[in-house]
Amino acid sequence: MFLHNYTDSTQRVAHWGREIARAIGLPEEKAEEVYFGGILHDIGKIGIEDQILNKRGKLTPEEYDKIKQHTVIGYEIILQAGMFHELLPAIRSHHERIDGKGYPDGLVGEEIPLMARILAISDAFDAMVADRPYRKGLPVEEALQEISRGAGTQFDAELAYHFIRIIRQLPRDELETIIRQDAQPQRHLQEVAR
């Protein structure tokens, strides 16, 4: 179950991250780096027990502390793998907040790497709109309002603006297709092979 949900989520987070990168004018090579950062951003969750990841109810403080370790676990996995080192800061820092209240390092503002600031928005949006075992996903407009409310505190305000604009410009049927898509691991392999 975790793998299915993980591949769905990472594909969407990667997609939205790449779109933000393009919207702010990053070169296509950097936009593709953001995409791969999105694919690998939660790789550290393989080090977290399934019963915590798939829990249907509210997490205890201890369980939440364990979940928060996925950023450091993912960082260590990629570091030890000896590849994709350009993605390390995003993997470690995608749960940092502009106001310094994020984790694991409490980074503030532009101390947070750009790729991590981008993925923080796409990851949060996906978490809000995706159905979970314990709740239905939020409507898109509610999720965008949450992103807007978090601009300047949780999220980089400029990036949040670009993301909201991207989403609002998409035709609703296309947006719903992306949000509700099933995992298609073959697409990941095709993207990597390009």
83 Cβ contact partners less than 8 Å away, ≥ 6 residues apart = none
Q: What is the pLDDT of residue 14?
A: 96
Residue 89 belongs to what domain range? Answer: 2-193
Mean pLDDT within 164-170: 93
Structure token pair of residue 140: 């898109």
* Residue 163 neighbours by CB distance under 10 Å: 27
Summarised one tens digit per residue, pLDDT across range 1-45 is 334 355 588 999 999 999 999 999 999 999 999 999 999 999 999
Instruction: Please report, for the domain that includes residue 52, its CATH number.
Output: 1.10.3210.10
Q: How many domains does the chain have?
A: 1
Give the whole-number percent of the chain exceeding pLDDT 70.
89
**Closest by Cα among 192, 194, 185, 186 to 7:** 185
Q: What is the pTM of this model?
A: 0.87
Q: Poorest-confidence range of 27-31, 139-143, 151-155?
A: 139-143
**Closest by Cα among 52, 53, 55 to 3:** 53
Top pLDDT among 187 and 44 is at 44
